Amino acid sequence: MHPLPPDWQQTFNDYNAALTRRQFFRDSGTGLGVAALASLLGPRVRAESAGAATLQTAMTEPWKIAPKAKRAIYISLIGAPSQLDLFDYKPELKNRFREDLKSYLGGQGERLTGMTSGQAAFPLAPSIFKFARHGQSGMWISELLPNIAKMSDDLCFIRSMKTDAINHEPANQLVYTGSMQNGKASMGSWLAYGLGTLNADLPSFVVLHAKHTSPFSNVQAISSRLWGSGFLPGKHAGVSLRAQGDPVLYLNDAPGIPRELRRQMLDGLGELNRRSYAQIGDPEIQTRTQQYEMAFRMQTSVPELADMSGESEATYELYGEEARTRGSFASSALMARRLVERGVRFVQIFHRGWDQHGSLPRDLAAQCKDVDRACYGLVQDLKQRGMLDDTLIIWGGEFGRTVYSQGTLTETNYGRDHHPRCFTIWMAGGGVKPGTVYGETDEMSYNIVKDPVHIRDLHATILRLMGIDHERFAFKFQGLDQRLTGVVAASVVKGILA
């Protein structure tokens, strides 16, 4: 081990005192800008404190508008569930079983994935599942989702979603970060940045990874890019709670370290960080300090959060017995309710295994069984607690599935490839119009024929419901005003707003 040089303290002080070009222009520009503004406004800058505070909020947070929802839960079905087998009922397709769509696809200019581009034929595969109308809206819902069907009047279905991506990773990045490029901030991070926290003892954005139960599921890998903060301050990144062991690793103090000593250590470290920030102005120093303090508070808040012993039998009856098993989707749904109940702004549940390229009837049924009852339980639980009206729930995947079969087609078995042109999601609570069916697709669930909704439009709508104007909600990075909805026009879907 090399000893420290004798002038190490001076070296450290010199580093802290160093001023980068960017920091110089930022600091001096701010001071000159304030002086210039004060000279122009004159006596008006001496407004009473309340008015000044209102002006400051309007200047620093111009994106804020009246919210419909205080918090949100996004149920992310990684792999893309088949709209044809769950929500977009096309009974006339049964008469076209095995019809080759190769010439039709050529006329559509369809992009094909490498998994089906080599097929000699593209046989039409009608759904083998039974559908029935439910609720006052008469929404067609598959037999695979009997509990979701029971609450159709609480839900808003969008059957005309579309995306730009045909493969999983770019499609997921587009859904959850607004861009197919790496390095962007996730939706949850944007909301945490724009709205702040409702509970200083828990993160604003929490991520849960629910297990799938079928051993046959085709599981897509996902990365922390989907819940990362990108160019936003690191404190806005999603915090993952583990399904086994301690919910957060290394949260507990080491043996022999009493809480009072930990507090003293953090106070000392905080003082050093304040001095460093005063000298060099790196915002990541503040982020580290805030995260240390959050971790200290979470030592108390997380054990209480994770202790579900106080949940009633009636609650477990709603969510199902699987809710007693940590890591199951049902347990994650119950945890999501506990999180938003305690002031967490945005909760994201990732459930993988929805990529049915083959053996769809077997595998889709297993995936639906994982989530159906617990989704019903979550919505009804929030409703009973008076929280549904200001809690937004979003349920969906990254794209749809093809009407033609991937691989061998039989009367009882088929697979479906990726399809970006149309798919279905549903939303509930938080300012959306319940019992609504929005958008239509053509006779093959191939193209949208009425009220298309792009991913960007969905983002604009979610932000609107959470009290954010997407056109004014930006963060300066690399000389650009970065936005969740990007630079291409996006519109709030007013037809689904309550």
Per-residue pLDDT tens over the stretch 391-415: 999 999 999 999 999 999 999 999 9
Report in angstroms the alpha-carbon separations of 374 from 315, 318, 388, 451: 11, 7, 15, 30
pLDDT of residue 253: 72
Q: How many CB atoms lie within 10 A of CB 166?
A: 17
Which stretches of 281-425 are DSSP H helices? 283-306, 313-319, 329-341, 360-384
Instruction: List the structure tokens of 32.
Output: 């000159």
Q: What is the largest CA-CA distance in the chain?
A: 86
Which pTM does this prediction carry? 0.86
Tell me: pLDDT of 477 over 70. yes
Q: Which residue has the higher pLDDT, 246 or 430?
A: 430
Q: Is 424 helix (H, G, I), strand (E, B) or coil?
A: strand
For the segment 41-67, the average pLDDT, to the nearest whole number, is 56
DSSP output for 225-290: GGT--TTS-GGGSPEEEPSSSSSSTT-SPPTT--HHHHHHHHHHHHHHHHHHHHHH--HHHHHHHH
pLDDT of residue 10: 58
DSSP output for 2-26: PPPPTTHHHHHHHHHH---HHHHHH
Tell me: pLDDT of 22 over 80. no
pLDDT of residue 126: 98
Instruction: List the structure tokens of 219.
Output: 């599981």
pLDDT of residue 54: 43
pLDDT of residue 1: 43
Q: How many CB atoms lie within 10 A of CB 17?
A: 9
pLDDT of residue 50: 39
pLDDT of residue 5: 57
For the segment 6-22, the average pLDDT, to the nearest whole number, is 54
Residue count of the chain: 498
Please classify residue 138 by burial: count the beta carbons closer than 10 Å to its beta carbon, then call 0-12 exposed, 13-18 middle and 19+ buried.
exposed
Instruction: List the structure tokens of 258.
Output: 């009493």
pLDDT of residue 270: 82
- 259-268, 291-300, 486-495: least confidently modelled range: 291-300
Q: Which residue has the higher pLDDT, 262 or 64?
A: 64
Q: Which residue has the higher pLDDT, 22 or 463?
A: 463
Q: What is the pLDDT of residues 232-249, one digit of tens each?
A: 999 999 999 988 777 776
pLDDT of residue 256: 80
pLDDT of residue 44: 38
Q: What is the pLDDT of residues 28-43, one digit of tens each?
A: 554 545 444 444 444 3
Percent of the residues in the chain that have a pLDDT greater than 70, as a whole number:
87
CB 331 within 8 A of CB 209: no
Q: What is the pLDDT of residues 268-327, one digit of tens each?
A: 888 888 888 888 888 788 877 777 777 767 777 778 888 999 999 999 999 999 999 999
Q: What is the pLDDT of residues 138-160, one digit of tens each?
A: 999 999 999 999 999 999 999 99
Amino acid identity of residue 279, one-letter, is Q
pLDDT of residue 52: 43
For the segment 215-220, the average pLDDT, to the nearest whole number, is 92
Tell me: pLDDT of 60 over 80. no
For the segment 34-54, the average pLDDT, to the nearest whole number, is 42
Q: How many CB atoms lie within 10 A of CB 327?
A: 16
pLDDT of residue 259: 78
Using alpha carbons, select from 371, 322, 351 the residue that is nearest to residue 86.
371
pLDDT of residue 462: 98
pLDDT of residue 111: 86
**Average pLDDT across the chain, whole number:** 88
Percent of the residues in the chain that have a pLDDT greater than 90, as a whole number:
72
Which one-letter DSSP state was computed for residue 497? B
DSSP output for 39-104: HHHGGGGG--HHHHHHHHHHHH-TTB---S-SEEEEEEEET---HHHHT---GGGGGGTT-B-HHH
Please classify residue 99 by burial: count the beta carbons closer than 10 Å to its beta carbon, then call 0-12 exposed, 13-18 middle and 19+ buried.
middle
Instruction: List the structure tokens of 282.
Output: 């790196």
The crossing angle, in degrees rounded to 10, of helices 187-195 and 455-465 is 30
Cβ neighbours of residue 59 closer than 8 Å, sequence gap 6 or more: none
The winner for highest mean pLDDT among 2-6, 50-54, 214-218, 356-360 is: 356-360
Tell me: pLDDT of 12 over 70. no
CA-based end-to-end distance of the chain: 66
pLDDT of residue 290: 76
Tell me: pLDDT of 367 over 80. yes
- CA-only gyration radius of the chain, Å: 26
Tell me: pLDDT of 125 over 80. yes
> What is the dihedral angle through the alpha carbons of 88, 89, 93, 94, rounded to the nearest 10 degrees?
140
